[in-house]
């Protein structure tokens, strides 16, 4: 009896235990599934954050990733990027999803309006699903305690209320609308380039209120000492960029048409080199407005004109690194034949690079390019004009019609930008 | 294709002489003038072993790397190589080294010596610059670092080079205040 009596509760207990175990297993499975889902979401957010190039702007020189403090010189003063790690006191760890969404889409943080140096004017087109993935990623970044630096914006631009007026004039939180006349791949490319890549922020000229001019989308704009190139399909196709050329440039930082420099270097390093194969093709298809393969035409080398005034300057100062016939040298200097910097209607970058030089660039353990010295003190405007004209007529299809006054204007602009 | 070139090297008029296009200055020094004291190092303008001095605008000397510079760059210019520093007698024998050369000797600055001519030229140009624009004594090390930092010594003899230059600058009147 005792055993029987005891067996009832024991059997009951076993049943309860079995139910509990089942519940626990189910709960465990559900928790595991949730963790897996969360892990997938975080990984997706990390990829999106890479394409958004958050690290480049939110990492101080020599500092820790995403901890902020990198200065941005604007016409109104200096703005410092903020700490966007998950630290709850100095970062964005205390943000609710709603806070994060508003910052990304509307440029409004819990502390007030953000300066448009944060490209919410591009990010606002993010889908809700991608915004959630980004939120999951940022909330799981390593928290770094680093106080934000106060901006050094002059009056009256330091009154953040003014940004409300700017947003009313220049910003509309709308959704990304796919172009039904284009393929899914093209639209994916447009989304990556215009939204996450926020390429228009540099490559589109701005109006008097410093908002992007939609009618001049991707037509190029001067940023301090460099000009973000014209990257319209018309210009890229005129220069015979192929899908492979762009892929090489975005993954390695260099292609047969030259290297990236200035602000595009961190974009490649932190961002576009991480694109998946499929997304890369989407990006190049969108930029070239062509999904088909493109024939690679021979690079221009029109031969030397030894009587041209720029010839001796090239041979004396440039040929040592770029080669006697502009063929370049591996791991030293890029080739000049078909070089995109020369083969543009604007000579701003060609002159700017000659004046200021380029810092050395390292792309991977086996590839780098040496620093190019600046020749601002070495060449006068006439010599620079002769040299640029010589290089353009020798290695591009452009005319040698640059005038001294144009070069002088660029030099003057450069002095103002640097001081 | 050739071209005519002329310049002054170590106070000697050179040319006009026909040289092939694309000729680098270091080849011109070695092959045409037999001035082999200027050393070919990396060949890409990085190590600065091939540095020579060129008299620049307003009498201010500049240093130029000859391995990446075409001979055209030196046309009609006054050039000094390491062979042009020491005093020589009528027979061409060296009678007196410059203070820079002596400083490096006294500090046993070099080992294999490949980078030495570059260091000598760079330091000489630095001394001439300081004679026109002296620096505060406290800044001497920084000035030396700025001037010599691009020069690569594979024997890693930097300390002795830098110490030699520092002693020289601090013991030469008019370079510091």
A2 has a pLDDT exceeding 50: no
Q: Which of B22, B45, B46 sits opposite A315 (nearest CB)?
A: B22
Kindly state whether residues A213 and A333 are assigned to the same domain: no
Looking at residues B88-104, what average pLDDT do you find? 94
B25 CA: distance to closest CA in chain A (Å): 9
Residue A286: inside a domain, yes or no?
Answer: yes
A24 has a pLDDT exceeding 80: no
Kindly state whether residues A291 and A236 are assigned to the same domain: yes
Residue A4: inside a domain, yes or no?
Answer: no
**What is the structure's pLDDT at A11?**
55
Residue A2: inside a domain, yes or no?
Answer: no
A18 has a pLDDT exceeding 90: no
With 0-12 / 13-18 / 19 or more C-beta atoms within 10 angstroms meaning exposed / middle / buried, residue A317 is buried
Confidence of residue A16 (pLDDT cuts 50, 70, 90): low
Kindly state whether residues A238 and A278 are assigned to the same domain: yes
Looking at residues A76-102, what average pLDDT do you find? 92
What Cα–Cα distance (Å) separates residue A278 from each residue in A18, A51, A151, A198, A285? 48, 14, 40, 19, 11
Kindly state whether residues A274 and A362 are assigned to the same domain: no
Residue range A270-285, pLDDT digits in tens: 899 999 999 999 999 9
Helix (H, G, I), strand (E, B) or coil at B111: coil
Residue range A382-409, pLDDT digits in tens: 999 999 999 999 999 888 889 999 999 9
Determine what percent of chain A is predicted with pLDDT higher than 90.
58
Nearest CA to A204 among A214, A194, A195? A214
Give residues with Cβ within 8 angstroms of A352, minimum separation 6: A225, A226, A227, A410, A414
Kindly state whether residues A156 and A45 are assigned to the same domain: yes
Residue range A288-315, pLDDT digits in tens: 999 999 999 988 899 999 999 999 999 9
Q: What is the CATH number of the domain that holds A273?
A: 1.10.760
Q: Give chain A's domain count.
A: 3
The mean pLDDT value of chain A amounts to: 87
**Bridge partner list, A228:** A221
Q: How many CB pairs under 8 A join A and B?
A: 40
- Looking at A15-19, A405-409, B45-49, B152-156, which range is the least confident one? A15-19
Residue A14: inside a domain, yes or no?
Answer: no
Residue A7: inside a domain, yes or no?
Answer: no
Domain range for A223: 183-297
Residue A257: inside a domain, yes or no?
Answer: yes
d(CA A355, CA A414) in angstroms, rounded, equals 9
Kindly state whether residues A162 and A187 are assigned to the same domain: no
d(CA B24, CA A316) in angstroms, rounded, equals 8
d(CA B118, CA B37) in angstroms, rounded, equals 9
Q: What is the CATH number of the domain that holds A375?
A: 1.10.760.10
Residue A24: inside a domain, yes or no?
Answer: no
**What is the structure's pLDDT at A29?**
61
**What is the structure's pLDDT at A13?**
57
Q: Which of A312, A316, A332 sits opposite B44 (nearest CB)?
A: A332
Last-in-domain residue among A169, A201, A229: A169
**What is the structure's pLDDT at A17?**
64
Closest residue of A to B47, CA-based?
Answer: A370
Q: Which of B45, B46, B72 sits opposite A315 (nearest CB)?
A: B72
A47 CA: distance to closest CA in chain B (Å): 38
A10 has a pLDDT exceeding 80: no
**What is the structure's pLDDT at A73?**
79
Last-in-domain residue among A273, A297, A321: A297
**Bridge partner list, B62:** B54
**What is the structure's pLDDT at A48?**
95
Residue range A31-68, pLDDT digits in tens: 777 777 788 899 999 999 999 999 999 998 888 999 99
Residue range A174-202, pLDDT digits in tens: 778 899 999 999 999 999 999 999 999 89
Q: Do B68 and A321 touch (CB under 8 A)?
A: yes
Kindly state whether residues A338 and A289 are assigned to the same domain: no
- The answer to whether the complex's ipTM is over 0.85 is no
Confidence of residue A347 (pLDDT cuts 50, 70, 90): very high
Report which DSSP code applies to B52: E
Q: Is the dihedral of CA A123, A287, A289, A247 positive or negative?
A: negative
Last-in-domain residue among A235, A269, A297: A297
**What is the structure's pLDDT at A19?**
61
Residue A5: inside a domain, yes or no?
Answer: no
B3 has a pLDDT exceeding 90: no
Kindly state whether residues A82 and A142 are assigned to the same domain: yes
d(CA A9, CA A13) in angstroms, rounded, equals 6
B71 at interface of A, judged by CB pairs closer than 8 A:
yes
Kindly state whether residues A326 and A258 are assigned to the same domain: no
**What is the structure's pLDDT at B1?**
66
Kindly state whether residues A43 and A116 are assigned to the same domain: yes
**What is the structure's pLDDT at A28?**
64
Kindly state whether residues A119 and A52 are assigned to the same domain: yes
Kindly state whether residues A50 and A159 are assigned to the same domain: yes
Looking at residues A23-29, what average pLDDT do you find? 62
């Amino acid at each position: 009896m005792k055993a029987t009596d005891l067996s009832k509760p024991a059997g009951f207990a076993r049943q309860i235990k079995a139910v509990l175990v089942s519940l626990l297993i189910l709960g465990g499975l559900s928790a595991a599934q949730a963790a897996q889902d969360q892990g997938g979401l975080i990984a997706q957010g990390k990829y999106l954050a890479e394409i958004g190039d958050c690290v480049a702007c939110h990492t101080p020189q020599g500092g820790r990733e995403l901890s902020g403090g990198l200065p941005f010189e604007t016409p109104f003063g200096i703005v410092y990027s903020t700490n966007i790690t998950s630290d709850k006191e100095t970062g964005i760890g205390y943000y609710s999803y709603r806070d994060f969404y508003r910052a990304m889409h509307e440029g409004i943080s819990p502390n007030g309006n953000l300066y448009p140096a944060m490209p919410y004017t591009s990010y606002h087109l993010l889908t809700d699903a991608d915004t959630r993935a980004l939120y999951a990623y940022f909330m799981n970044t390593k928290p770094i305690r680093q106080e934000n630096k106060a901006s050094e914006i002059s009056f009256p631009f330091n009154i953040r209320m003014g940004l409300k007026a700017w947003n009313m004039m220049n910003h509309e939180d709308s959704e990304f609308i796919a172009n039904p006349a284009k393929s899914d791949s093209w639209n994916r490319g447009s989304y990556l380039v215009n939204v996450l890549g926020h390429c228009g922020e540099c490559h589109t000229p701005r109006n008097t209120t410093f908002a992007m001019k939609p009618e001049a989308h991707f037509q190029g704009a001067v940023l301090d000492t460099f000009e973000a190139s014209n990257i319209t399909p018309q210009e890229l196709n005129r220069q015979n960029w192929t899908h492979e050329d762009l892929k090489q440039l975005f993954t390695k930082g260099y292609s047969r048409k030259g290297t990236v420099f200035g602000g595009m270097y961190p974009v490649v390093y932190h961002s576009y080199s991480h694109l998946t194969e499929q997304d890369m093709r989407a990006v190049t298809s969108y930029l070239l407005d062509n999904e088909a393969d493109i024939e690679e035409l021979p690079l221009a080398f029109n031969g030397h004109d030894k009587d041209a005034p720029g010839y001796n300057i090239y041979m004396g100062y440039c040929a040592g690194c770029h080669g006697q016939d502009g063929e370049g040298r591996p791991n030293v200097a890029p080739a000049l034949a078909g070089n995109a910097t020369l083969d543009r209607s604007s000579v701003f970058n060609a002159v700017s690079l000659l004046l200021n030089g380029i810092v050395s660039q390292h792309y991977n353990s086996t590839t780098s390019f040496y620093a190019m010295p600046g020749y601002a003190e070495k060449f006068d405007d006439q010599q620079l004009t002769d040299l640029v004209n010589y290089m353009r007529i020798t290695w591009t299809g452009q005319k040698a019609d640059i005038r001294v006054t144009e070069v002088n204007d660029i030099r003057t602009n450069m002095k103002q930008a640097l001081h | 294709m050739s071209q005519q070139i002329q310049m002054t090297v170590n106070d000697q008029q050179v040319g006009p002489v026909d040289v092939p296009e694309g000729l680098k200055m270091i080849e011109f020094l070695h092959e045409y003038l037999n001035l082999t004291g200027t050393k070919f190092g990396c060949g890409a303008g990085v190590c600065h072993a091939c540095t020579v001095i060129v008299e620049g605008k307003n009498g201010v000397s500049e240093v130029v790397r000859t391995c990446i510079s075409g001979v055209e760059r030196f046309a009609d210019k006054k050039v000094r190589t390491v062979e042009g520093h020491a005093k020589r007698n009528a027979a061409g024998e060296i009678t007196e080294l410059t203070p820079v050369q002596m400083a490096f000797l006294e500090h046993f600055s070099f080992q294999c010596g490949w980078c030495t001519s570059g260091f000598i030229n760079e330091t000489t140009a630095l001394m001439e610059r300081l004679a026109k624009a002296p620096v505060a004594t406290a800044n001497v090390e920084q000035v030396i670092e700025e001037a010599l930092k691009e020069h690569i010594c594979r024997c890693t003899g930097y300390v002795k080079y830098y110490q030699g230059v520092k002693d020289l600058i601090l013991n030469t009147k008019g370079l510091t205040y």
